[in-house]
Amino acid sequence: MEDAKQTARPQYGMGQNVLYMLRTAWRTRKSVIALCAAQALLSVASAAVGMFFAPAALGAIETGAPLARLLGIIGAFSLALLLLGALAAYASANTEFGRIQVRMELFSRTMHKSATTALANAENPAFQEKSAKANAAMNSNAAAAEAIWDTLRQILENALGFLLYLSLLTALDPLLVAVTLATSAAGFFSAHRILGWGYRHRREEEKPLKRMEYVLNQAKNTALGKDLRIFSMRPWIEEVFSSARRAYHSFHARAGKRYFLADAIDALLALARNGIAYAYLIAKTLSGELTVAEFLLYFSAISGFTTWVTGILSSFTTLHRQSLELSTIREFWAYPEPLPLEGGETPPALRPGDACALELRDVSFRYPGAEKDVLSHINLTIAPGEKLAIVGLNGAGKTTLVKLLCGFYDPTGGEVRLNGRNIRPYNRPAYQALLGAVYQNFSLVPASIAQNVAQDLESFDRARVQNCLERAGLGNKIRSLPHGMDTHLVKEVYEDAEELSGGELQRLMLARALYKDAPILVLDEPTAALDPIAESDIYQKYREMTVGRTSIYISHRLASTRFCDRILLLADGKIAEEGTHEALMAKGGEYARLFEIQSRYYREGGEDDGGSNASE
């Protein structure tokens, strides 16, 4: 189905993709194109020299040429072949590096798209599928993004060979050319159609294979061993297996007949072609129109010609497939962005301390492809400098609400406003520059601690980094490291990297948010098991950093939200309750109930949060 969809409507045609690759190579490494052409020329030249070799030697013998001349001919041809072979080997040895470089060019564009695309895309399964397909089309030397050069070389080589042999054979008899051309093409297309049957019916082959694989895995699975025995499932399992095996064999028997047919047709056509050519050439030789040497030359030209014709056709088939894959890569790059990542309006230039009021006006939201709204008709105003906590059970929509406030998604209904203006038209990176955030899931850049804090690889203020690290409670840790804030992070990339603990990483993210010094703060509390002392210290840091800033704090631990001015309890995509901790407790509603369960749980030393949210 998917393949059919993909084959039916690639966004970029074969010509466009070939041109694109040529242009990319021209920009990145011109030698890729030159070497391709050189390889094709050398290969055709080598085939032509090979073809003339025997007839030339035979011709010399036929005409009774002196031995020296015969040896001279043999020597010249051998030398030419040797030289061409050496040049071809040289070209081939030098071609790989450039091709990889061109492929890496495609890689970097793909990476750029993945890294910069809207979160709405990154979380969308359709986008993820496209991304996986695009990656598959360039993740190895044999993938389309690199293998296409071989195909283009083959097409050029076969086309040149075709033209050369065509001119030679046309001089002899155009009719003979027509017969050879027709039988070669007929052979190719019949084989192609028949072999295509296997591709069209591949599901029939996959289905029993998958069933057999499943049954085999089940049978091997020791965990299921008890079930299998107690419930006497063995005969049933065996029956499923053998019926799948029968289906598989019957498919192969049918396929085998078709493949045999393909071979038989090909053999018959080759017989007809060679029979006609033989008869024609023998007649001409007997009547004295052709010398024996010419007979040999033309005969091998005919079989060579067939090879060029089928070569052209089959390399175009390969090119077609590779073009579909390249189209997937380019479709991925062109995947539409739902938000103004580039362009758009410039949001107001707000500094820390400037008044920032956020508002959700009748906001509803539904994820692409989902059946129901995650948030419905939410009205919420966050006053400048207010600290708002959002609590609620897992799946209540807290993270989604924050994603809307951060401008990662646009609401499906209503407006998100900053100081009274809808944020929808704002350039998103510029809007997000106004936000500082500490998320539960964060990414580390394989660089130094300081570079991670500053989010800048080149220039940053060391004193400020140090100050932020101190304020986040990492001062002692940094002093204990031999390279201090210049210590590398991410072991997979740097051998000497330092591995920070969960709590330390959380503090690092805090330092990062402090360094950014944005007017709006989003704190998505970690669920990582921090020990209670570290946790209370982190809460204290949050409290300090939110002073004077509009902040939104998501928490699964209700007791930790006390530093906030207002608490919002989300349930079923709606604001179920809101107010200060005291007011909500006094109200004795859902918040009070959850708070009671949680505090009992913590008093009893539980490790989880008693059914309350463990956000994601």
Task: Tell me the sheet residues that pair with 523.
Answer: 438, 553
How is 119-135 classified by DSSP, letter by letter?
HHHHT-HHHHHHHHHHH
- Does position 526 bind ligand ADP by CB under 6 A? no
What are 335's two structure tokens? 């995947």
- Does position 613 bind ligand ADP by CB under 6 A? yes
- Does position 392 bind ligand ADP by CB under 6 A? yes
Stretch that binds ligand ADP, among 105-113, 144-152, 233-241, 366-374 (CB under 6 A): 366-374
Return the residue of 77, 259, 367, 494 that touches ligand ADP, per CB under 6 A.
Answer: 367
Minimum distance of ligand ADP from residue 408's CB (angstroms):
10
Q: Write out the E strands in 78-137.
A: none
Return the residue of 183, 315, 376, 615 that touches ligand ADP, per CB under 6 A.
Answer: 615
Return the residue of 93, 132, 283, 370 that touches ligand ADP, per CB under 6 A.
Answer: 370
Of 544, 542, 570, 576, residue with least CA distance to 556 = 570
* Cβ-Cβ contacts under 8 Å for 287 (sequence gap 6 or more): none
Which is it for the CA torsion 58, 64, 66, 67, positive or negative?
positive
Minimum distance of ligand ADP from residue 8's CB (angstroms):
28
Q: How far is the C-alpha of 129 from the C-alpha of 127, rounded, in Å? A: 5
Of 411, 410, 406, residue with least CA distance to 432 = 406
- Does position 400 bind ligand ADP by CB under 6 A? yes
Number of shown-chain residues binding ligand ADP (CB under 6 A): 14
- Does position 374 bind ligand ADP by CB under 6 A? yes
- Does position 397 bind ligand ADP by CB under 6 A? yes
Say if residue 438 is exposed, middle or buried (CB neighbours under 10 Å; 0-12, 13-18, 19+). buried
- Measured from the CB atom, the residue of 296 and 404 that comes closer to ligand ADP is 404
What are 146's two structure tokens? 């690199």
Of 56, 45, 37, 54, residue with least CA distance to 81 = 45
Return the residue of 198, 338, 352, 395 that touches ligand ADP, per CB under 6 A.
Answer: 395
- Measured from the CB atom, the residue of 171 and 614 that comes closer to ligand ADP is 614
With contact defined as beta carbons under 8 Å apart, do 393 and 574 qualify? no
- Measured from the CB atom, the residue of 60 and 405 that comes closer to ligand ADP is 405
Residue type, position 33, single letter: I
Q: How far is the C-alpha of 105 from the C-alpha of 145, rounded, in Å? A: 10
Minimum distance of ligand ADP from residue 613's CB (angstroms):
5
Q: How far is the C-alpha of 97 from the C-alpha of 95, rounded, in Å? A: 6
Residue 577: helix, strand or coil by DSSP? strand
Stretch that binds ligand ADP, among 27-35, 241-249, 387-395, 456-464 (CB under 6 A): 387-395
Minimum distance of ligand ADP from residue 411's CB (angstroms):
13
With contact defined as beta carbons under 8 Å apart, do 476 and 503 qualify? no
Stretch that binds ligand ADP, among 170-178, 290-298, 394-402, 505-513 (CB under 6 A): 394-402
- Measured from the CB atom, the residue of 244 and 570 that comes closer to ligand ADP is 570
- Does position 126 bind ligand ADP by CB under 6 A? no
With contact defined as beta carbons under 8 Å apart, do 165 and 176 qualify? no
- Does position 512 bind ligand ADP by CB under 6 A? no
What are 69's two structure tokens? 């001349």
Return the residue of 217, 381, 394, 455 that touches ligand ADP, per CB under 6 A.
Answer: 394
Minimum distance of ligand ADP from residue 120's CB (angstroms):
8
Minimum distance of ligand ADP from residue 130's CB (angstroms):
16
- Does position 338 bind ligand ADP by CB under 6 A? no
Stretch that binds ligand ADP, among 24-32, 391-399, 441-449, 542-550 (CB under 6 A): 391-399
Beta sheet of 358-365, edge-to-edge order: 375-382, 358-365, 413-418, 421-422
- Measured from the CB atom, the residue of 368 and 579 that comes closer to ligand ADP is 368
- Does position 128 bind ligand ADP by CB under 6 A? no
* Cβ-Cβ contacts under 8 Å for 43 (sequence gap 6 or more): 88, 157
Interface residues toward ligand ADP, by CB under 6 A = 123, 367, 370, 374, 392, 394-400, 613, 615
